[in-house]
Amino acid sequence: MMAPLLLLEPIGGMAGDMFLAAALDAGVDRAALVAQLETLGLPGWRLEVTHRSVSGIAATHVDVVVDGPQPASRRLTEILDLVDRSGLAPRARAAARALFERIGRAEAKVHGIPYADVHFHEVGAVDSLVDVCGAAVVMDLLGWPRAICAPPELGRGLVKTAHGPMPVPPPAVLELLTGVPVRPGGPPGEAVTPTGAALMVGLCEVGPLPAFVPRRSGYGAGTVSWPDRPNVLRITLGEPVEPAARGADAAGEPAGAGTAAEAGLWVLETNLDDCPGQLVARAIEAALEAGALDAWAAPLTMKKGRPGVLLGVLCDGARRGPLSELLMAETTTLGVRAHPVERHEAGRELHEVETAHGRVRVKVSRLGDRELGAHPEYEDCLQRARERGVAVREVMAAALAAWRDR
């Protein structure tokens, strides 16, 4: 099921529940998703998954059913604290935090209030908390593929909110989507919610879908029905198509020219000889939170024999500019080098195994139908080791043995 591309087509729109539903429809493990979400410690909720036909398309629908009273709103700081204290996998936790911070900045600008004073109404509800954190967990369960979303139509008309009637798209949605391609018009209503917009820009590139080989697809059904289209979000797991020739693309343009270069993978690098180690560590963490595919630091010797650090980031073309700016903001560097690269990847799958210490996810790499290797997820093993008071390597050995004996 695992593939290096995750393609989103907001046929009817984009919302957090539609993303979760489409992911489950495409085969994401429901039990693994719920197990991670339960670590948020939110009381009185359950994930209700149903199947329905939308304009003749078999789709999955997700409802977050809440039992009992809930707060009318939550401060951004409360939400971030919930995420920080959760047991989500580290990268999922960082992604969920970044998504809420992104929504918070948009709300602060739209309402003209300080960032620290932001209160969430709809987004602070349990279902939206589950949607945002669930999307981050889905990406983690899929092994963080390169996600690309086709430019959406945003809808039209008016929508009711806690602040009163708002034009469609709501101001927060437009603010979140600043700088990315969108299409005017669409169904009579809110086709893209603030949560959906945050997922688009926080987890995906937004632009034309590349050539790809589809492997598995899923459809997530929205709550309302549109008169002119099926209200579904389609997710496709696939593999990129390797160019037939390195020298030119299908239109005869030189490879690497214009938008073709921006669509590929890039390595960003900078040499540092006056930057404290704490800032280097923060830059790596911040780059991963901002969507870098990888980030690293390595020692090097610079001019005049000075010891230094090579700070590097691997990213897709859409994040090249923002990540270059991030490295300059987080470190003492005055410039960042960039060069395009190619990456050949094995397929990756995550499976859960039962051990004497509890359930552990195992990452399996494959080339076609051939298994290359399996390795237990360290964070799962660390958590089980702490719970059972045993060494981490003991849990890792048990998980690997369980996978081999499956």
In eight-state DSSP terms, residue 112 is T
250 by Cβ neighbours in 10 Å (0-12 / 13-18 / 19+) ranks as exposed
pTM (whole model) above 0.85: no
Angle at 90 between CA 89 and CA 94, to 5 degrees: 115
What 3 state SS string does 208-254 have?
Answer: CCCCEEEEEEEEEECCCCCCCCCCEEEEEEEEECCCCCCCECCCCCE
pLDDT score at 75: 83
In angstroms, the CA 294 to CA 144 distance is 11
pLDDT score at 342: 84
pLDDT score at 172: 87
pLDDT score at 72: 65
Instruction: List Cβ neighbours of 262 (8 Å cut-off, separation of 6 or more).
Output: 317, 318, 320
Q: Which residue ranges make up each domain of the chain?
A: 5-240, 263-341, 347-404
Amino acid at 7: L
What is the full per-residue pLDDT of the chain (406 aa) written as tens digits?
344 899 999 999 999 999 999 999 999 999 999 999 999 998 888 999 999 999 999 999 999 888 877 766 778 888 889 999 999 998 899 899 999 989 888 888 887 887 767 766 554 478 889 999 999 999 999 988 989 999 999 998 887 776 678 788 888 899 999 888 998 888 998 999 999 999 999 999 898 898 889 999 999 999 999 988 999 999 999 988 765 433 334 333 333 333 334 557 899 999 998 899 999 999 999 999 888 999 999 999 988 788 999 999 999 888 888 899 899 999 999 889 999 888 877 777 888 899 999 999 999 888 777 888 899 999 889 999 999 999 999 999 999 999 998 8
pLDDT score at 40: 93
In eight-state DSSP terms, residue 270 is E
Q: Reduce the DSSP state of residue 314 to 3 states and report it.
A: strand
Contact 135, 20 (CB under 8 A): yes
Which pair of structure tokens corresponds to residue 391? 């060494």
Pairing mode of beta strands 155-156, 189-190: antiparallel
Q: Which one, of 176, 24, 3, lies nearest residue 105 by Cα?
A: 176
CATH number for the domain whose boundaries are 263-341: 3.30.70.1380
In angstroms, the CA 60 to CA 64 distance is 13
Please tell us whether the domain made up of 347-404 is placed in CATH 3.10.20.300.
yes
